[in-house]
Structure 1
Amino acid sequence: MCGIVGLISADGPERLASRVAAMNAAIVHRGPDDAGVHLAPGVGLAMRRLSIIDLSTGHQPMTTADGVALVFNGEIYNYRSLRAELETRGYAFRTQSDTEVILNLYHAEGMAAFARLHGMFAIAIHDQRRDELILVRDQIGIKPLYIARHEGELLFASEIKAILATLPCRPAIDPQGLWDYLSLRFMAPDRTIWAGIGKLGPGQILRRKLCSGDQSIETFWQADLTPGPFDIGRDYAREFADQFVAAVDSHIVAADVPVGAFLSGGLDSGAIVAAASELGHRAFHTFSISGDGAGGDDELPLARAVARRFGTTHHEIRMARSDYFDTLDDVVRAFDEPYGDATGAALYLLSQRASDHVKVALSGEGSDELLLGYTRAADLATLAKVERRYGPMPRPLLKLAARFVSPDRASIFRAMAEGGPGAYRRGMAAHIGWTISDAEKAAFWRGPDMVPSFDLVQGWYGLPDTAHPLAQSQQADFGTWLVEDLLMKADKMAMAASLETRVPFLHLPLVEWCQNTPMEARIGPPGQFRTKAVLRDYVATRLPDAVLNAPKRGFPLPIFPWFAERLRDAGGYVPISREFHNWISLEGLKPIVARACRNERRALEQLWGIAMFDRWCAVYAD
């Protein structure tokens, strides 16, 4: 685990070396154990290393005798089996690292190598044989990789701050990126807050010829959560258990340092700790956090019960309001961009505590997105209602009706006119992160006219209209909310504390099994609605009853009540940055501020995302 940086430039050797060094210095927190640089005419690569595997001989960059140099951020969980295969093909190894496995596998198979990697990774390869720079991001998007083009140069890095460290001046704010952020509370895929800086997508490869500048991006893996047909002869619960336990085991054994886990009071992290214990991993640390005033939402007692059952060395943080708000500027610096998920600072504090004891922490991200953990019984009732009411209607009539109803309902009617009742979910564009509508933003927006964010989100519902509508929502969440909010938060907050997070639910073989399972494996058979049905079967005899029966809470911290108190103490919202006023009208914001001061949850969520943009402006843009 580390961070990588690099650039293609016409600079001379000394200037190139200086710029690569500045980029690498900007991400020292990602890898305080080691550093390495590869320089060649027109190209420079560098890395920072947090030593996890092969502590003594895993130095990067790694090179081949015929001119291939590689730097790599992440972990490969099937590297041992790949290594054994390569050895039978005549490849000799100098180290015990997964990095050398990637290097030799690429040498043997070229671009086909990357689809065979099970792990989380961002890879940069300078292949002098082909006069080419190659950038690769893992299939799920667990590790970020930012890219920028500036005056004919190509720059890349694990964090934006490394790119900013070598540009002559800060780029302009991207108005469309900001407009979409205000609705989503995270930056949309492909965009960042900075004009001219983007992201390589999950499962993508960028290839750039050094001499000609020709550049292409190809996708080597893409999620498809279309449910398969139910097979009465298959034991889905048993299959899931086998896949899940293998995923947890692979994430623990691929480390030469202590491993622990973040532990909430929920099913996902509890399942990870249960599997780790049953696999025989005994010296296991677990880490939990809550806040003063959490009341009935306090999950520490539930986490404590799981820790006791499996005999972990358990650590708890009881966070005060001042602890939370005092760390927000550090959180903003770590994210590089506006980020409106209020749990980021809590994860930052939890990661700091964990890094005192372990170098690797397992986390439960991905379970809800794979197994419909966000679904409610009401969603199924709505699906049935839509099917009954609109299923028999001719599609031309639905299209005509769209002209005479409200805009929100019209989009649903148009979607059904194109794809039938199953397409209504796409027409809703009911994305999980949606907090401010385009109409609400227009009341306080001071920037230029933008493409509606609703149009962007509607395009994320990419499964065929014949697919189950709940699967359509899964598909949208898996490629957007999961990657750009949850996984980005896990990477940025943990790496700011020099801690590696691993996500067993997103182990590629487990993902590929889950994405083809029928709806019955995700939410149970008709009449027996259970979110994450196969996971519930796994934990049913393993976790305490209090955990099994607890309602879903997300990350239950009293952040928004704290925020409302601060607003009332200040007499409303008072911006802290100058740049903020170029984009947001305080007059137009007054209705949201007033509702937030009254402790209305939706208004607090809306204002929180705006306030985090303000705080980001103060750190990066003023």
Structure 2
Amino acid sequence: MNAAIVHRGPDDAGVHLAPGLALAMRRLAIIDLSTGHQPMMTSDGVTIVFNGEIYNFQSLRVELKSRGYVFRTRSDTEVILNLYHAEGVAAFARLHGMFAIAIHDPRSNELILARDQVGIKPLYIAEHDGEFLFASEIKAILAALPGRPAIDPQAVWDYLSLRFMAPDRTIWAGIGKLGPGQMLRRNLGDGRQTIETYWRADLTPGALEPGRDYAREFADQFIAAVDSHIIAADVPVGAFLSGGLDSGAIVAAASQLGHRDFHTFSISGDGAGGDDELPLARAVAERFGTTHHEIRMARADYFDALDDVVRAFDEPYGDATGAALYLLSCKASEHVKVAMSGEGADELLLGYTRATDLATLAKVERRYGHVPRSLLGLAARFVSPDRASILRAMAKGGPGAYRRGMAAHIGWTISDAEKAAFWRGPPMVPSFDLVQGWYSLADTVNPLAQSQQADFGTWLVEDLLMKADKMAMAASLETRVPFLHLPLVEWCQKTPIEARIGAQGQFRTKAVLRDFVATRLPDAVLNAPKRGFPLPIFPWFAERLRDAGGYVPVSREFHNWISLDGLQPIVARACANERRALEQLWGIAMFDRWCAAYAD
């Protein structure tokens, strides 16, 4: 198992054996390079292995010393171990960082696992023939099994719409994962176990407090977050730098804090055209005097990297930017061991919201706000299924449930009806029902906050953070995400909608972040429209399809799930360069590549 994830920790390895238990770890040395070896053990046998970083470990260390604990290392691992020794599982909620933790406690004869509050670090679990297995990547669990598990049909069905794995499952039947802010306690004597949630995001907006300076508060919180992510390292730290506000804000804060010899990394592709952000990234790098590195990727470079990407993910993954992040991480790892990234800003501060969204919600309120809910439910019987879903949702939750009714926050790649045309697997629960359920995660009737909560607990964790972890770790690079520093997240959770999108009539996405960068970033960056990833991936894909005369599957397993004849309408539209069809077919093609690597 340990050998399967050597890329996650090429610097060191360790094993702990006890009756009925074995722990192993690979270490990428970031803090306390000389004495931070794991597993680590207390004098009475409590043992820990840990992947991640704890940013408040120094203050916790001072507190624990005052309580009589003696430290033999300078590592954050020993701080976690002693904090758990002192406070038990209550310790996890006090950690500010990213982590997957395993603790063997012989005092209670337990194995305890914990995942960080936001879900930055993955932690997979499985049980086979009475043996309990866990790991940071699925490939380590697969290495311990006598054969491949069965593929979960519902996971495949949902993946085709989401382009990532649903939060409650993996592609393999019998292999699961701890969710963000969850811990597992397993009795090593009788095998009984529980999974508990020790922290839960709640993006219900607070009330606007007149006179309160939200912009200043955000600036203080954000600068502290960036500082903590740089100083908690005994190795060089850099940053991924696009031409956008999020990564630019990180570099601006690092410069303001006085950090020097700072490396930044940017990527673009041949033919990016108006989406090329290298000039904007270069302008930020020049303003703050970073040592800047650029990658200009050719089409062949991108497609040559895809097999490495598939093997790194372990599961089907349909976000087309994965290969670019992998190549960028490989470049960064030549110069630094840690790179900061801007994930989480959009999900925390409603960065995906558009002015048209507000106009639509206002229109819905005007049209349906006065209609009795019982009549909305009755009307749902006489309209199309899509419209009926919206009316039923509003019958239960009022006009504010409009977005829930249409599962509006997710950009559908393939609807349930479209999948039915080529699906060869058994009948499945509609993916639409899954996504609708995500809207109940928020304790609010505010439709924008409902969408935000759905994004934060699903798309952010299972797509963006999973990509950030696995693509960087495949290159033995650690990615850090200052926007998801726990104190900043908890501050943002309590802010009013106005701090996220501006006062009424003054719409601005990520309002407090825009206030922060207004005097720090170049005007060209401030005034640039929001762009997608700066690579012409789908035009490249269309060219390859036309060169091949259509889509040619590469795996045998693919045909057990998807009818190539039923897929032809999508293939034809993709060959004609229709963007939506290209996105649809891309997710299917990545499933095909995954089948070839893992299931054939």
- C-alpha separation in 2, matches of 1:260 and 1:594: 43
Match of 1:458 among 426, 436, 442: 436
Instruction: Tell me the CA shift for residue 67 of structure 1.
Output: 1.8
In 2, are the aligned partners of 1:226 and 1:463 still within 8 Å (CA)? no
In 2, are the aligned partners of 1:366 and 1:506 still within 8 Å (CA)? yes
> Which residues in structure 2 correspond to 1:468-479 (within 5 Å)?
468-479=446-457
- Please state whether the residue corresponding to 2:35 is helix, strand or coil: coil
Sort the Cα spacing of 1:234 and 1:56 in 2 relative to 1 into closer, same or farther, 3 A: same
Name the structure 2 match of 1:346.
324
- Please state whether the residue corresponding to 1:39 is helix, strand or coil: strand
Name the structure 2 match of 1:375.
353
Report the TM-score when normalising by structure 1.
Answer: 0.96
Kindly indicate whether residue 126 of structure 2 is the aligned counterpart of residue 148 of structure 1.
Answer: yes
- C-alpha separation in 1, matches of 2:535 and 2:390: 35
Name the structure 2 match of 1:186.
164
Structure 2 letter corresponding to 1:30: R
Kindly indicate whether residue 574 of structure 2 is the aligned counterpart of residue 596 of structure 1.
Answer: yes
Instruction: Tell me the CA shift for residue 409 of structure 1.
Output: 1.1
1:32-87 per-position Cα deviation (integer Å, ceiling 9, x unaligned): 00000001111110100000000000000000111211000000000000000000
In 2, are the aligned partners of 1:227 and 1:467 still within 8 Å (CA)? no
- Please state whether the residue corresponding to 2:568 is helix, strand or coil: helix
Instruction: Tell me the CA shift for residue 465 of structure 1.
Output: 7.6
Structure 2 letter corresponding to 1:386: V
1:463-513 per-position Cα deviation (integer Å, ceiling 9, x unaligned): 568521010000000000000000000000000000000000000000000
Name the structure 2 match of 1:32.
10
Name the structure 2 match of 1:241.
219
Match of 1:107 among 85, 93, 99: 85
- C-alpha separation in 2, matches of 1:313 and 1:582: 50
- C-alpha separation in 2, matches of 1:339 and 1:345: 11
- C-alpha separation in 1, matches of 2:36 and 2:408: 45
Kindly indicate whether residue 57 of structure 2 is the aligned counterpart of residue 98 of structure 1.
Answer: no
* Structure 2 stretches lacking a partner, 5+ long: none
Match of 1:170 among 148, 151, 168: 148
- C-alpha separation in 1, matches of 2:35 and 2:205: 44
Kindly indicate whether residue 277 of structure 2 is the aligned counterpart of residue 322 of structure 1.
Answer: no
- Please state whether the residue corresponding to 2:200 is helix, strand or coil: coil
Match of 2:537 among 547, 555, 559: 559
Structure 2 letter corresponding to 1:414: R
- Please state whether the residue corresponding to 2:144 is helix, strand or coil: coil
Name the structure 2 match of 1:9.
none
- C-alpha separation in 1, matches of 2:323 and 2:458: 21
Name the structure 1 match of 2:407.
429
In 1, are the aligned partners of 2:442 and 2:453 still within 8 Å (CA)? no
- Please state whether the residue corresponding to 2:532 is helix, strand or coil: coil
Structure 2 letter corresponding to 1:387: E
- C-alpha separation in 1, matches of 2:497 and 2:573: 39
- C-alpha separation in 1, matches of 2:209 and 2:76: 38
Match of 1:530 among 505, 508, 511: 508
- Residue range with higher mean Cα deviation, 126-135 or 425-434: 425-434
- C-alpha separation in 1, matches of 2:443 and 2:388: 17
- C-alpha separation in 1, matches of 2:174 and 2:365: 45
In 2, are the aligned partners of 1:237 and 1:538 still within 8 Å (CA)? yes
Structure 2 letter corresponding to 1:138: D
Structure 2 letter corresponding to 1:101: V
- C-alpha separation in 2, matches of 1:211 and 1:37: 21
Instruction: Tell me the CA shift for residue 408 of structure 1.
Output: 1.1
In 1, are the aligned partners of 2:350 and 2:500 still within 8 Å (CA)? yes
- C-alpha separation in 1, matches of 2:122 and 2:443: 31
> Which residues in structure 2 correspond to 1:31-430 (within 5 Å)?
31-430=9-408
In 1, are the aligned partners of 2:570 and 2:581 still within 8 Å (CA)? yes
In 2, are the aligned partners of 1:422 and 1:466 still within 8 Å (CA)? no
- C-alpha separation in 2, matches of 1:440 and 1:289: 34
- C-alpha separation in 2, matches of 1:43 and 1:322: 46
- C-alpha separation in 2, matches of 1:570 and 1:619: 21
- C-alpha separation in 2, matches of 1:371 and 1:277: 23
Instruction: Tell me the CA shift for residue 554 of structure 1.
Output: 2.8
- C-alpha separation in 1, matches of 2:143 and 2:332: 29
- C-alpha separation in 2, matches of 1:433 and 1:330: 26
Kindly indicate whether residue 458 of structure 2 is the aligned counterpart of residue 492 of structure 1.
Answer: no
- Runs of 4+ deviating beyond 4 Å: 463-466
In 2, are the aligned partners of 1:395 and 1:416 still within 8 Å (CA)? yes
In 1, are the aligned partners of 2:204 and 2:443 still within 8 Å (CA)? no
In 1, are the aligned partners of 2:442 and 2:454 still within 8 Å (CA)? no
Structure 1 letter corresponding to 2:509: T
- Please state whether the residue corresponding to 1:38 is helix, strand or coil: strand
* Structure 1 stretches lacking a partner, 5+ long: 1-22
- C-alpha separation in 2, matches of 1:486 and 1:122: 17
1:168-192 per-position Cα deviation (integer Å, ceiling 9, x unaligned): 0000110000000000000000211
RMSD of aligned alpha carbons: 0.7
